[in-house]
């Protein structure tokens, strides 16, 4: 993914989260995957991931990039205290390209 495409994906995810009134704490779009730390909302994580993947794919498609963008599945990790949350945010920010 080019730098421009990564920015398009990042903005699409930020916009989708805003529509769902979900806070994004950290977001890193890499060439072949995305790291996101977001606020808990009353919606299954599988749906949230699907929303983020779909909006990113459609945003890229509008620029002429076609074909498959994401693989199936995702890895989820929950934070149960401030320390864990800060560690995850740091990890994601350290992986910004």
Q: What is the pLDDT of residues 68-78, one digit of tens each?
A: 777 788 888 89
As a whole number, mean pLDDT of residues 53-69 equals: 86
The pTM (predicted TM-score) of the whole model is 0.88
Answer yes or no: is pLDDT of 65 > 90. Answer: no
Q: Report d(CA 88, CA 25) in Å as an integer.
A: 9
């Amino acid at each position: 993914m080019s730098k421009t495409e990564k920015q398009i994906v990042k903005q699409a995810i930020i916009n989708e989260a805003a529509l769902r009134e979900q806070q994004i704490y950290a977001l890193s779009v890499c060439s072949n995957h995305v790291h996101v730390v977001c606020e808990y909302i009353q919606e299954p994580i599988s749906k949230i991931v699907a929303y983020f993947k779909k909006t990113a794919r459609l945003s890229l498609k509008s620029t002429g990039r076609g074909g498959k963008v994401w693989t199936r599945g995702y890895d989820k990790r929950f934070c149960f205290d401030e320390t864990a949350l800060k560690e995850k945010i740091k990890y994601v920010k350290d992986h910004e390209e």
